[in-house]
Amino acid sequence: MSIGIVGYGSYVPRHRIRLEEIAKVWGADAPAYKRGLGLREKSVPAPDQDTITMSVEAARRAIVRAGIDPVRIGAIYVGSESHPYAVKPSGTVVAEAIGATPEIHCADLEFACKAGSEGMYIAMALVKAGEMDYALGIGADTSQGAPGDALEYSASAGAAAFIFGRERLVAECEHTYAYMTDTPDFWRREYQFYPRHAGRFTGEPAYFKHVLACARGLMERSGTTPSDFRWCVFHQPNGKFPQRAASELGFTKDQHDQGLLSPTLGNTYSGSSPMGLSAVLDVAASGDRILMVSYGSGSGSDGFIWRVTDRITEVQHLAVQTREQLEGRRVYIDYGTYSKFRGKIRMGAE
């Protein structure tokens, strides 16, 4: 029985800040940062945008592409590390806004940057188990980077939503694989505004260990090698890590580039590899095979192998595409406006 993606959508906020603007304030060497991180600019959510608002818009686009009555969606999982409420799910607002209530299962997920792919994993499993016809998994974030910290250059905002089903697939899921260990590379304690990270420890023992093991495990179980894939998408905390992972695994630039959004989008955390996948689906052709590996600090990776179907060309233009939003009309802001938007200014009581 085939299970896979029936519809997909993404949302990129319109505001951007260039790395130079951030570097200026902290007296940092902008060119060096840009080279080192492989980033040029990042998206910034406006004060009225959050994980919920972006998830709603991404989900609406997924519904248009899926061409289904949203009331048939049996489950919704929103994965984020910046859910607007600490207690009260983002999923209930999203489900209500898309008209999928009340007969729907809902839970919010958290696992640093892989909460989105987790939602996809679980949603798909429920459809596979025959529990429901359609299920929705969303990855979205408006994560914060502490002022002056390296993460301030990359933490950005975005969302991607996927509706899973058994019929009218645009991409069939051939394999999944999960790889996880307890690795303290990045975390945020309750009531802390900013997360903390363990510097260089976030590289080899964290990101690379899990992403590479997950990718290799996926290829081993499916009997594939990089040359069996047209596209690959990895979690993108900056521009450098995913490129290094791709190259170490033996993927080419041509396979990797379309899904690499971080140089101009930044790190959308739970939206990262899901959005990369949406950008690939926007241009993929029937028969294309896609390897997708997410990464969430803490740590773990979810791996998927997708095979694109004939139906993809019917839906690609039904809603705005990911790179269209990324490269389309943008509003650049300065650091002061950025601080205001991101709530980094201590406001008076209202």
Partner 1 sequence: MIGSARYWREIPQRYRYEAATCDACGKIHFPPRLVCSSCRGTRFSRTTLAPEGAVETFTIIRVPPTGFTAETPYAVGIVRLDDGVKVTAQIVDADLDELRIGQRVRVEFRRVQKEGEAGLLCYGYKFVPVGV
Q: Which active-site residues does the annotation give?
A: 81, 113, 235
For the CB of residue 310, give the shortest distance to partner 1 in the complex, in Å: 27
Among 31, 32, 69, 96, binds partner 1 (CB under 8 A): 96
> H-type helices in 109-176, by residue range?
115-128
Stretch that binds partner 1, among 40-48, 123-131, 143-151, 265-273 (CB under 8 A): 40-48
> Taking contact as CB under 8 A, which single stretch among the options 281-289, 300-308, 310-318, 327-335 is the one that binds partner 1?
327-335
Peptide bond into 82 cis (omega under 30): no
Three-state DSSP state, 110: coil
How far apart are the C-alpha atoms of 163 and 176, rounded to whole Å? 16
Beta strands in 213-296 (DSSP E): 231-234, 289-293
Count of other CB atoms within 10 angstroms of residue 332? 12
Among the residue ranges 96-104, 163-171, 172-180, 247-255, the one whose residues contact partner 1 (CB under 8 A): 96-104
State yes or no: residue 287 binds partner 1 (CB under 8 A): no
Binding residue for partner 1, selected from 165, 305, 325, 333, defined by CB under 8 A: 325
Closer residue to partner 1, CB minimum distance, 23 or 138: 138
CB-nearer residue toward partner 1: 24 or 340: 340
Instruction: Give the bridge partners for 173, in sequence order.
Output: 306
CA distance 308 to 290: 8
Residue type, 6: V
Residue 332 binds partner 1, judged by CB under 8 A: no
**Tokens standing for 103?**
């007969």
Residues of the shown chain interacting with partner 1 in the complex, contacts defined by CB under 8 A: 14-15, 46-50, 52-53, 56-57, 60, 84-85, 93, 96-97, 99, 320, 324-325, 328-329, 331, 340, 343, 347-348, 350
